Structure 1
Amino acid sequence: MGRTVRIAMVAGEASGDLLGSLLIAALKRKLPDADFYGIGGPKMQAQGFEAWWPIEKLSVIGYIDALKNFREIYGIRRQLKKRLLERRPDVFIGIDAPDFNLGLETALKSAGIKTIHYVSPSIWAWRGGRIKKIGRAVNRVLALFPMEPPLYDREGIPVSYVGHPLADLIPLETSKQAVREKLGLPKAAPVFALLPGSRKGELERMAATFVQTAKIIRERFLPNAQFVVPLTTRETRLQFENAIYAEQAGEVPFRLLFGHAQDALGAADVSLVASGTATLEAALIKRPMVITYKLAPSSWWIGKRMVRSPYVGLPNILAGRFVVPEILQDDATPENLAEALIKLYEDKENAAAVAEAFTEIHLQLRQNNAEKAACAVVECLN
């Protein structure tokens, strides 16, 4: 290709920013003169991506949050579509954020622009009918999980299985002692990683519960327990600190980290993880975990009626069985969570079985993701 290749992208949250940055790096090796622009986060920008809006504008969760921010998000999409039709890219890559990206992809595709959707929406779990809409919106889907391509093949929608970048980035074995040393944590104490989520809305619902859970573990079960809490932003860190203060848990040894979720999980005996990408990180680090989640009651009610999978957490979905417990919504009381965590902490035989199941998943997802995704994009361009 003699001229500059123009590649537009939209990522809606931190996990999309990571995917986008790795894909840009791999594409630059194949297309050194390519231009990248659209909506992306700091990792994508560090690769030379021109961000027209910051990624935070799209990071909402659940139906209620989405409705609250609907006008602003709709306005951004309208302006973005106009700019993309003026500065026509050779290909548009929507990274996750299906509610935002699929409508945009449909409009761009019908204007003759090639479109790729990177990260299949979870049609195997809920709203399976969306596959028709996806087919109308895209020239190709890049799927992260092995159960996804057969669904698209059945509908005649071009799909590439590219594996998951975290499976490439996380080593097959993580030494607990080495990570504890790095973080300055005691070698022999019980350590619990607490991952209450990466968005403000998640912390609003989960922070107090996580703090109370830690308090119960210390008071009733393990007085020497330590708690490592990775948080992604200043806002979420402040929210968690406020919860510690509100719950009068100043005595509990919380170790708050900026990012470093993988270190927290690697140092822990057991983790408490709010459902999402963090559950996959915990699985790839092969530690037992309890998966928990709370949504606004109305979002939960709507979601429950649409879900087809018996599992919510990715590790259980990928294994096709309950490898680790899921304690959700009204059941997610500090008492229930503390008891489940202690049970996992004490059961060393189960920990070995969990590690074995998660190693199998790790090997399945380790596909040299960015390279495969870049090859699929170049193929689509040609």
Structure 2
Amino acid sequence: MVDTRPFTIAMVAGEASGDSLGAHLISALKAHLPNARFVGIGGPKMIREGFETWWPQEKLAVMGYVEVLKHYREIVGIRKALKQRLLDLKPDVFIGIDAPGFNLDLELDLKRRHIRTIHYVSPSIWAWKAKRIHKIKRAVDHVLALFPFEPELYKAEQIPVTYVGHPLADIFPMTPPKQEMREQMRIAQARPVFALLPGSRQSEVRQHATLFVRTARKITESVPDALFLVPLMTRETREIFEKACYTEGAGELDITLMYGHAPEAMTVADVVLVASGTATLEAALLKRPMVITYKMSAITWWLMTRKMYLPYVGLPNILNKAFVVPEILQKQATPDRLAEAVVSAYKDKDGQKALVAKFTSMHQLLKQNTSLRAAEAVLHVLGAE
């Protein structure tokens, strides 16, 4: 059904993963609402779909207590100005895409002024900050949940929720074309390949770059002909990693830095070393063995671990409710330990087969035609079905 009314749909996506979600949602909504206007804060993918961004998305892409404090005044200033602009505009609906630290307070203010609010991507109430669900109830008219275990948590609190699945499960093939991709990239089929994903944010790459280079050197001691592919999102993150390679004297290592193309790098890899985040889910959907790691400032780590009640942080483990892949975090994340885990995963052929079976089942559960389901929920809130 096509509704030609000139709806105004405001959105805020705080980082790259939210930009992808927003772009797919805008594309699906435009098929039903051809005259809709999309405004707020978004990234390049949303902009390509016709989104009008008022501030650069990078201003919000900050993670960790210490890191947020450094940018606190700027972020609060953006939220204050954005709130006033939205209150003046009175959009038909506001959709906060992830970034709960920024979006929930904004949604709370907008809902109080009778602007309908949707939160796309459930905050991690199942992992930590469980009390946040009460704030969500006050701030949000509808939640779009990516994971199948989330709706029951909201229904228990009488919060309208729709399980939409995860868009990456729609995008990635059930059987990754590893052989064909290696042919395209001119990588020998028998060559040991390791993908290194240090994160998408500059702060993450600063924390992980030297660690990953040192780990690559340790891996090469066990696997001498190893090839390392390092996909990096931006020029700034590439420069950070290049500096680490130079400082560590990594000229003897076969490291290829890539602009983006993380799915391709993971598809051809035998094992992925990955910073905890959405990339761990990508690796699982690509049926890749992986080792998950993460390092952050000591005070941020201390504050987070005090509030966590799940024993794991990686999405593949959370979704499987078990340690199906290793997590080596914070002080435990040394080059020796990471390299040992990566090489072990590389050599464990039976373990690789078991992972493929687990990840295939997970993929099937998450594959829900997410953009269509999310768009249908938004249309329902708008009364434009």
TM-score by length of 2: 0.98
Partner-residue secondary structure (3-state), 1:38: strand
Q: How much has 1:255 moved relative to structure 2?
A: 1.2
Identity of aligned pairs, percent? 60
Partner of 2:280: 279
Using the alignment, how far apart are the partners of 1:40 and 1:343 within structure 2?
40
Q: Any stretches of 5+ residues in structure 2 without a counterpart?
A: none
Using the alignment, how far apart are the partners of 1:135 and 1:185 within structure 2?
51
Partner of 2:169: 167
Partner-residue secondary structure (3-state), 1:100: helix
Using the alignment, how far apart are the partners of 1:75 and 1:27 within structure 2?
30
Structure 1 range deviating more: 326-335 or 1-10? 1-10
Using the alignment, how far apart are the partners of 1:217 and 1:102 within structure 2?
43
Using the alignment, how far apart are the partners of 2:341 and 2:203 within structure 1?
25
1:50 aligns with 2:73: no
Q: How much has 1:186 moved relative to structure 2?
A: 2.1
Partner of 1:125: 127
Partner of 1:64: 66
- Write the deviation string for residues 120-162 of structure 1: whole angstroms up to 9, x where unpaired: 0000000100000000001000000011000000000000000
Q: How much has 1:187 moved relative to structure 2?
A: 1.7
Using the alignment, how far apart are the partners of 2:52 and 2:178 within structure 1?
39
Q: How much has 1:2 moved relative to structure 2?
A: 5.4
Q: How much has 1:340 moved relative to structure 2?
A: 0.5
Instruction: Read off the aligned partner of 2:71 and give its amino acid letter.
Output: N
Instruction: Read off the aligned partner of 1:243 and give its amino acid letter.
Output: A
Partner of 2:27: 25
Q: How much has 1:110 moved relative to structure 2?
A: 0.6
- Write the deviation string for residues 217-246 of structure 1: whole angstroms up to 9, x where unpaired: 11x201101001110000001111110001
Partner of 2:291: 290
Q: 1:115 to 1:247 in 2, by over 3 A?
A: same
1:155 aligns with 2:160: no
Contact 2:4 2:35 in 1 (8 A): no
Contact 2:4 2:34 in 1 (8 A): no
Partner-residue secondary structure (3-state), 2:355: helix
Q: How much has 1:60 moved relative to structure 2?
A: 0.2
Partner of 1:356: 357
Contact 2:40 2:54 in 1 (8 A): yes
Using the alignment, how far apart are the partners of 1:181 and 1:214 within structure 2?
24
Q: How much has 1:308 moved relative to structure 2?
A: 1.1
Partner-residue secondary structure (3-state), 1:155: coil
Q: Any stretches of 5+ residues in structure 1 without a counterpart?
A: none
1:209 aligns with 2:211: yes
Partner of 1:323: 324
Partner of 2:339: 338
Partner of 1:35: 37
Contact 2:94 2:107 in 1 (8 A): yes
The aligned runs of 1:261-280 (5 Å cut-off) are 261-280=262-281
- Write the deviation string for residues 300-332 of structure 1: whole angstroms up to 9, x where unpaired: 000000001111100000001111000000000
1:312 aligns with 2:326: no
Partner of 1:225: 226
What is the aligned residue count?
A: 381
